[in-house]
Amino acid sequence: QVQLVESGGGLVQAGGSLRLSCAASGRTSRQYYMGWFRQAPGKEREFVARISWSGVTAYAGSVKGRFTISSDSAKNTMYLQMNSLKPEDTAVYYCVADTTMRLTSASSYWGQGTQVTVSS
């Protein structure tokens, strides 16, 4: 069992920055892919970014160049640095861990979500 807890969300003005954190606990000895999804009201869940335990990253086109995903294995913590935020980035952001690259298998683990709101 893996537990994930997100933090760092909040309200910012357009053009501002936030850093989200995801702390993992439990059975973290396995090598997981980890990443972030987001979901805005009335919209489908959207992939944001992914990082492997070896450090290989991937981003959605809508955030590439503005967001940076990273991890600190010593702290079992993953981060999402969000710069140049836009109102369309407003969503609940979820941390996810999985043994598969897609992050959405039946055995995936999800955090509770943290709200990010970007005002115009």
- The pLDDT tens digits of the residues spanning 49-68 come to 999 988 899 999 999 999 99
CA distance 83 to 107: 31
Instruction: Using the predicted structure, report yes or no on whether residue 87 has a pLDDT greater than 90.
Output: yes
Q: Which residue has the higher pLDDT, 27 or 113?
A: 113
Spatial strand order in the sheet of 2-7 = 2-7, 18-26, 77-82, 67-72
| pLDDT, tens digit (0-9, with 9 covering 90-100), for 13-27 | 999 999 999 999 987
Q: Residues 69, 49: contact at Cβ < 8 Å?
A: yes
Spatial distance between the Cα atoms of 24 and 76, rounded to a whole number of angstroms: 5
User: What is the structure's pLDDT at 56?
Assistant: 93
